[in-house]
Amino acid sequence: MTQRRYLQLDVFAHAPGTGNPLGVVVDAHGLDSAAMQALAAWLNLSETIFFLPVGGHGADYHIRIFTPKGELPFAGHPSVGAAWAALEMGLVRPEHRQPDASGRTALVQQCAAGMLPVQVKQADGVRLVDVRTPRAVHRRDVPAPDWLLAPSVFGAARGALPPALHNNGPDWWLLELADEAALRALQPDQALIAALPGNGKLAVFARSHGGEHDLAVRAFAPGVGVAEDPVTGSANGSIGAYLAANDALPGRDGRYVASQGRELGRDGRVLVQVDDARDVWIGGQVQPVIQGQIAW
């Protein structure tokens, strides 16, 4: 049994107790896949990341991402939290931590999805992290079930865009609803969602009119054992790509704010940017909650 540095963070969080919790095992050398999976299951957070020695050319740090039930090639809130933790814990070499003229620090994350660019900046004393998500693929080969194509889903009217299955690491079915209030009151059938092709995950979104956010999002993943995820970077990345492909982005200049997790008492905020190359960046604040050691 080895003592390993451990953090617990809230990601996409403007204050502790908001956003999505993330377990961070800083010293994961010596752990095999089975041990990482067992620890992620024991912690029972939506995701836990494990820092490992860098194995890819040009990477600043290397992580593996586990849910309580399996490994993910990419997930958004673990990637945002990983960059924050890599800087906070001194895992990035000093010469790579220097900001450019605009005040941004550019890093490269190695994970199962490949090498992902990361940008970190300080704004009013707050460290903001943005990660470029893997390019989302619209899986047109998988037809939507009839219930997802109905004018009303779980008692809420659909929006203008048809349901679609996207993959940017994990699969997410994307469903636009016509009304934010209906989205927030939604009581979905978990069994129906769990049976969806693509590991049983559904991200629902609706436009917001006024206030501090442009889009409201909820993400249900009973197919992987998560009834509702507090704040989901991969789902928000796929939604951003889908909206951009349909010239339907909210906000201005390819930037908008998504609100997710309020129904679970988390009230997370995801900053989404679609750049000129149609790549989607997701980011936000990270709050440290626990720092110590874990024996595993």
Instruction: Report the catalytic residues.
Output: 47
- Residue labelled with tokens 């008492």: 265
Task: Tell how far CA 247 is from the center of its chain.
Answer: 23
Q: Please, how many CA atoms are within 13 Å of residue 292, restricted to the half-sphere of its CB?
A: 5
Query: Which residues lie closer than 8 Å to 129 by C-beta, 6 or more apart?
Result: 80, 81, 83, 84, 118, 119, 120, 283, 284, 286
Record the tokens describing residue 223, joined without a space: 């197919």
Q: Quote the radius of gyration of the chain (alpha carbons, Å).
A: 18
Helices and strands of the chain, counted as H and E runs:
6, 19
Class of residue 54 by CB neighbours under 10 A (exposed 0-12, middle 13-18, buried 19+): middle
Task: Please state, in angstroms and as integers, the Cα–Cα distance from residue 243 to each residue in 12, 256, 269, following that order.
Answer: 21, 11, 18
How far is it, in rounded angstroms, from Cα 206 to Cα 185?
12
Would you say the C-alpha torsion 33, 36, 39, 44 has a positive or negative sign?
negative
Tell which residue, 244, 269, 242, has the closest CA to residue 257: 269
